[in-house]
Amino acid sequence: MAIRKLLLLLKPVDLYPFLETDGVSLIKNHQVLQYLESRCKVHRDAITFCREILNKKPVEWKPIARNDLSHPIRDVDMVITVGGDGTLLHASHFIDDSVPVLGVNSDPTQAHEVEELSDQFDASRSTGHLCAATVENFEQVLDDILFGRVVPSKVSRISVKLNSEPLLSHALNDILIAHPCPAAVSKLSFKIKNKDGDTNPKTVNCRSSGLRVCTAAGSTAAMLSAGGFLMPMLSRDLQFMVREPISPVPTLSQMHSAFKPDQSLDVNWYSDHGTIYIDGCQVNYNVQLGDTIEISSDAPVLNVFLSQGFTQIRSRY
């Protein structure tokens, strides 16, 4: 399909509105202030650069701020997000499997900066795991897409049903089912069910800090930090982990494992209150005592241009 109509989705330019109040900075540490101001400038410059490149191409495009996006994205051939993984995650909740997306990491982490300031504060910027482009290669990446030299990858998402009703949002990274108070215990049970109706005979009952389920894309994020394993990016499997189970607990394999595309994870919630968090704080739904939650990879895939796709075409030339 020819790509001629684009939507440019932008992370807010005023990244740190708390920098000044009545003309007075709220940040007293000069190095922190300098770092935050640099981040704002680098991001603004990246937006300007992307606009200039798009103006040179035979495409029609329009910009929209991330915070102004409120309806499903339709009638465009591609979405370009300028920000980081959070901006692409936000966009994914408004995109079905008919519109591909390209992420531009506007403010990549600078290793030398992190090293120099490591004794002062964490100077990490944007990881951009899902972003195939930066200002350094944006025009080349865009040309590869416009000339059909690369195709998007089909990245799995998570489908969630609450009391048999499908939720509108699909998770690109992960979902967390937990009590809304982080200090409270989450009481739940779960079991793996095959799509043909057969279930794993073992129901796992646990008290914990919640249950996390991630996609392959999300296996590099919170799941990995919690001790999970990396998954091939195009895998349709889903990985789950019980957070901080209270002793006595079932075997480790019951607390942390994966299930296949032809299976679902069926959860029963036994606390008075609970919340389903989709992709961090992007979207959330309330649950209550007795609710059932079905988790699977039945969601439409997200078509994402990933960096490995461009690496492969470079190797052919």
pLDDT in tens, 145-184: 999 999 999 999 999 999 999 999 999 999 999 999 999 9
Residues of the chain within CATH 3.40.50.10330 domain(s) are 5-151
pLDDT tens, position by position, 38-48: 888 999 999 99
pLDDT above 90 (res 135): yes
C-beta atoms surrounding 261 within 10 Å: 14
Contacts of 304 (CB under 8 A, 6+ apart): 88, 100, 101, 102, 103, 130, 132, 152, 153, 155
Mean pLDDT of 134-143: 96
| pLDDT band per the 50, 70, 90 thresholds, residue 37 | confident
What is the reported pTM? 0.91
Kindly state which CATH superfamily the domain 5-151 is placed in. Answer: Probable inorganic polyphosphate/atp-NAD kinase; domain 1 (3.40.50.10330)
Q: What is the pLDDT of residue 33?
A: 78
d(CA 162, CA 27): 43
Superfamily assignment of 157-299 in CATH? Probable inorganic polyphosphate/atp-NAD kinase; domain 2 (2.60.200.30)
Q: Over 90: is that where the pLDDT of 34 sits?
A: no
pLDDT band at 275 (very low <50, low <70, confident <90, very high): very high
Residue span(s) of the chain under CATH 2.60.200.30 come to 157-299
Strand partners, 277: 176, 284
The residue with greater pLDDT, 111 or 297, is 297
Q: How confident is the model at residue 127 (pLDDT cuts 50, 70, 90)?
A: confident
Which pLDDT belongs to residue 253?
Answer: 75
DSSP for 266-288, written as a single string: EEEE-SSEEEEEETTTTEEEEEE
In our burial notation (b when 16+ CB lie closer than 10 A, e otherwise), range 140-162 reads: ebbebbbeeebebbebbbbbbbb
Tell me the mean pLDDT in the region 133-155: 96
- The closest alpha carbon to 214, from 266, 163, 280, belongs to 280
65 close to 10: Cβ distance less than 8 angstroms: yes
